[in-house]
Chains A and B, each alone.
Chain A
Amino acid sequence: MTEDKLKNVSHYFSMLDYIHGGVCLLQKDYTVLFWNECLEDWTGISKGDIIGQEIDQFYPHLKEPKYRERFSTVFEGGPPAVFSSQFHKYVFPCFLSRKRLRIQHTTVEGIRLDDDNEIYAFIACQDVTDLTERIHAYRTMRDQAVEEVKERERAQQALQEAMKELESFSYSISHDLRAPLRAIQGFSEILAKEYSTSLDEVGQHFLNNVVEAGTQMNQLIDDLLAYCRISDGQEQGYIIPLQQLFEKIHRQISNQLHEQQGILELPGITPDIYVNESLLMQIIMNLITNGLLYHRKNIPPIVKVSCEIKNDFLLLRVNDNGIGISKEYHEKIFEVFQRLHANEEIQGTGIGLANVKKATTLLGGVLSLESTVGEGSEFFIQLPIQNKNKIDIMKNYV
């Protein structure tokens, strides 16, 4: 190309000096015809130095077949070549800072200039460093998020496995522990009832001890099983009217009431709401049973249960005239296996109140206690009422 023509080209393309991206024009023999200001700025190579020279002298890697072959295609009138940032990173390596190279997205297109038939390679270089970095950061973030989700899934699975284990544990409690216990209780009862004449007084006393221990062990298994069930939630299915729950409680407690010569006052009018049978049963029954059990010597127990609805909460009060609980134990009594009294005094398992607490928490409620030693206790439970209609709740049947 002649000197004149070079000048013409420079003039022709001068607008491209204002563009924010590298532009370069090559002749078929790889001589540089145009080099815009942006490229001067990026590479530090001035127009004067590079124009008229072969590009390979400055960038020898462009001799490599992966570039050369695609340039040739363009010079022969073929489709444009794209050197993407992902595969090639940069066609004209240039530093952004000491360590960072500018990442480029480069397209090479064949163009014809007005006055001849020859095809020139028009190279347009876009700086995609920022974009690439942002994409990279986004990908890292996404990978992290995916990893976190996986982690959570793993934890969930582990939790489910633990739940299953607990379930099979409680299942085994109910079966494997109960069978030998039933034998101990059954045969010792038969002995006590039908063979007691063959035993002297001491022998009979010992036998009674066996019967008593068996009864206690049985209660312990019942309570422990209830505790396991509350946590694995398997018995959460049944929803019944509160009224019906109190009727059930009344039936179940009558024997104990008679034994303890106690008085139980259940609410006369109950709010017309549906409640979770097994959890509410755990809560109210345990509190009533405790009230009857922990009575003052020679004072017959009186337990009063009341309930009302206030601002979408069911407020339950269970009040007794028993021995009371001193303030320092108000937290401790809700822990499993915590007992304040020796077996000789009062027969409890130390699980009842833990069950009350657990069931209350599971229902999203709160539990508090007011008590005066020697006068009695009042347990106060506040449970949110779910705003579902009855049909929705019925769907929850397991």
Chain B
Amino acid sequence: MDILLVEDQRMDIELMLYALKKSRSPCNIVVMQNGQDALNYLLDDNSENQHAGHSWPNLILLDLKMPGIDGHQVLAKIKQTKHLKQIPVVILTSSSELKDRIRCYDSGANSYMVKPSSYHEFKMLIDKIREYWLELNTAAEDS
């Protein structure tokens, strides 16, 4: 699996899926609609289960403001978990607040992106994120 998207807004998910569908190369994406589900998905390993069940994503796209366990908490958990912390996490949020930015980088976010409101820009951003993190960047482990 290439991308894990953690996002609670249905319409943002649809926009994202549409944008990905329209890009030149297809990619696998799993969507989790809240922080708890995302953590369950990522932490549900039991070690051997890990490769039998599903592979780790090559990239996590994480929204910040979600009901219940929010993006900050998910990020912190990922970066504190031995077998997850090497997965690049790109924060994709509508917040451009300084305190969110600082908090995310402090917790180990690999990148911070503010969701543009225009679809055109949104699509461009998604393409660039994909290109950079899934094609140009060399990951810690081979997928």
Contacts and interface: CB of A to CB of B under 8 A. Distances in A.
A237 interface: yes
Contact of B94 (A182, A189, A190, A215): A182
A186 B11 contact: yes
Nearest to A218: B117
B94 A179 contact: yes
B25 interface: no
A190 B119 contact: yes
A175 B117 contact: no
Given A174-B94, A189-B118, A215-B118, A179 B18 contact: no
A234 B97 CA distance: 9
A186 B15 contact: yes
Interface of A is mostly: helix
Interface string A231-275: 000110100000000000000000000000000000000000000
Contacts of A193: 119
A183 B98 contact: no
Which of A179, A187, A237 is the most central at the interface, judged by chain B CB atoms within 10 Å of its CB? A179
A186 B65 contact: no
Interface residues of A, number: 22
A242 to B, nearest CB: 21
B95 A398 contact: no
Contacts of B118: 185-186, 189, 215, 218
B95 A175 contact: yes
Interface in B9-26: 9, 11-12, 15, 18
A189 B99 CA distance: 31
A187 B15 contact: yes
A58 interface: no
B82 to A, nearest CB: 32
Contacts of B117: 178, 181-182, 185-186, 214, 218
B98 A187 contact: no
Interface string B99-130: 10010000000000001011110100000000
Contact of A175 (B65, B98, B99): B65
A183 B11 contact: yes
A182 B97 contact: no
Contacts of B94: 174-175, 178-179, 182
Given A189-B118, A190-B119, A183 B15 contact: yes
Contacts of A313: none
Nearest to A181: B117
A329 interface: no
B115 A182 contact: yes
Given A182-B12, A186-B15, A190-B18, A237 B98 contact: yes
A187 B11 contact: yes
A59 interface: no
A179 B96 CA distance: 13
A169 interface: no
Interface string A133-146: 00000000000000
A166 B96 CA distance: 16
Interface in A180-236: 180-183, 185-187, 189-190, 193, 214-215, 218, 234-235
Contacts of A398: 98, 102
B98 A234 contact: yes
A95 interface: no
A398 B101 CA distance: 12
A171 interface: yes
B98 A174 contact: no
A183 B15 CA distance: 8
Nearest to B115: A182
Nearest to A170: B97
Interface of A: 171, 174-175, 178-183, 185-187, 189-190, 193, 214-215, 218, 234-235, 237, 398
16 contacts: A174-B95, A174-B96, A178-B94, A178-B115, A178-B117, A179-B94, A182-B94, A182-B117, A183-B12, A183-B15, A185-B119, A186-B15, A189-B119, A190-B119, A214-B117, A234-B99
